[in-house]
Amino acid sequence: MKKRVVSVLLVVMFTASIFAFAGCSTSGGSADVVKLGFIGPMTGDAAIYGSSAEEGAQLAVAEINAAGGIDGKNIELVAYDSKADQTEAINAYNRLRDQDGVVAVIGGTLSGETLAMKDIMVQDNMPVLSPTATAVEVTQAAPNVFRACFLDDYQGQAAANFAATTLGAKTAALLIGTGNPYSEGVSEAFKAAFTAKGGTIAGSESYGTADKDFSAQLTKIKEMNPDVVFVPDYVQTVGPILQKAKEMGITAKFVGADGWDGVQEEYADAAQGNYFTNHYAADSPSETVQNFITAYKKEYDKVPNSFAALGYDAVYAMVEAITAAGSTDSADIITALKATDHAGVTGTLKFDEEGNPKDKEVTIIKIDGGQLKFDSTVVNK
């Protein structure tokens, strides 16, 4: 990793931590290294999410180490591939705890794998900061679990507000992945918020995880003739849906959630002119955003997606908490996380009593000419 320049404030914090750590517990870290765990899919259909989040996390680690690390100790990110499989995720967490001696975990990346590990992590009182798991249940009854991303219900509400207010939609159809907590959760929130805005749900269709042909569902949706079709799912599913919808001549606008990030890479034509909710926009004029993008492109020779930005923010927030705690003791880190106030790439990160971000802006992205373009922001009130 190449050295990066970080803010003067962070350098001062890390320098000050040299004194704060004197005499404090450093269980879980060696004499020279503080280990953080990372869990997410880095192979398979969902690899775009885990790999991106891990790259953002590794970039943050490199920058922080270049600034002196924590009390002169380098941070090591120990990353495991969950393969988007719940059993693999649990096994990875057990290795991080038992073999690698991590002091905290950045992950999981997907909601399903994070929920699978949740009970064990709660029993262990492991400090956990998921960059991207959006399911509502992830942080419920889990005082040691936090997240950097907004929740499924929050972005579902934002998508509904955008559809009704900005797009002027009066009717909407839902296309939902059954057995997928992410798809089901965001859809429920969209439905409630859209009807509260005076809109009508024309109907809903569902598909299973093994489905590859969505002709039957889209035929019924076309007959409904809705103004918008809401499809919250991941790229590997959304792309073929949009492609089939285009082939069938469906003219309704499609609206999605953050799982769409990256859909333009293989499905630019099919996704043209449609919208989705996201955590940040790469074309934002924010100096913080642009500095991150410059560093990421220099390191990986590509533009970062929102999962990379959230992985980056999650590491910085966790390290700031460890620094503020002056300790690697689990209880001390968790207490410090509750007081986090981190100005990140994806917005200001402060946590409510359940470990969820407070009042984060939702960015609306439009796919245009094969590019993801900033459209607007929504803050639910």
Predicted pLDDT of residue 381: 67
Q: How far apart are CA 8 and CA 31, in angstroms?
A: 26
Answer yes or no: are the C-beta atoms of 358 and 340 closer than 8 Å.
no
Please state, as a whole number, how many other Cβ atoms lie within 10 Å of the Cβ of residue 88.
18
Which whole-number Å values give the CA distances from 186 to 150, 219, 258, 325, in the listed order?
Answer: 11, 23, 10, 35
Predicted pLDDT of residue 328: 96
Answer yes or no: are the C-beta atoms of 162 and 255 closer than 8 Å.
yes
Find the radius of gyration of the CA atoms of the chain: 21
Answer yes or no: are the C-beta atoms of 372 and 282 closer than 8 Å.
yes
Domains of the chain: 8-150+283-350 (3.40.50.2300), 153-278+363-378 (3.40.50.2300)
Predicted pLDDT of residue 106: 98
Buried-state track 213-223, b at ≥16 Cβ within 10 A, e below 16:
ebeebbeebbe
Residues in the chain: 381
Pseudo-torsion of CA 113, 117, 121, 123, nearest 10°? Answer: 150
Predicted pLDDT of residue 243: 98
Query: Secondary structure of the chain in the HEC alphabet?
Result: CCCCCCCHHHHHHHHHHHHHCCCCCCCCCCCCEEEEEEEECCCCCCHHHHHHHHHHHHHHHHHHHHCCCECCEEEEEEEEECCCCHHHHHHHHHHHHHHHCCCEEECCCCHHHHHHHHHHHHHHCCCEEECCCCCHHHHCCCCCEEECCCCHHHHHHHHHHHHHHHCCCCEEEEEEECCCHHHHHHHHHHHHHHHHCCCEEEEEEEECCCCCCCHHHHHHHHHHCCCEEECCCCHHHHHHHHHHHHHCCCCCEEEECHHHCCCHHHHHHHHCCCEEEECCCCCCCCHHHHHHHHHHHHHHCCCCCHHHHHHHHHHHHHHHHHHHHCCCCHHHHHHHHHCCCEEECCEEECECCCCCECCCCEEEEEEECCEEEEEEEECCC
Predicted pLDDT of residue 32: 87
The distance from CA 287 to its chain's CA centroid, rounded to whole angstroms, is 21
| pLDDT tens over the chain, length 381 residues | 333 333 333 333 333 343 333 333 334 445 689 999 999 999 998 999 999 999 999 999 999 999 999 989 999 999 999 999 999 999 999 999 999 999 999 999 999 999 999 999 999 999 999 999 988 899 999 999 999 999 889 999 999 999 999 999 999 999 999 999 889 999 999 999 999 999 999 999 999 988 999 999 999 999 999 999 999 999 999 999 999 999 999 999 999 999 999 999 999 999 999 999 999 999 988 899 999 999 999 999 999 999 999 999 999 999 999 999 999 999 999 999 999 999 999 988 999 999 999 988 899 999 999 999 999 988 776
Which whole-number Å values give the CA distances from 200 to 33, 67, 169, 229, 365, in the listed order?
Answer: 56, 54, 9, 12, 24
Q: Model-level pTM?
A: 0.80
Burial class (CB in 10 A: 0-12, 13-18, 19+), 110: buried
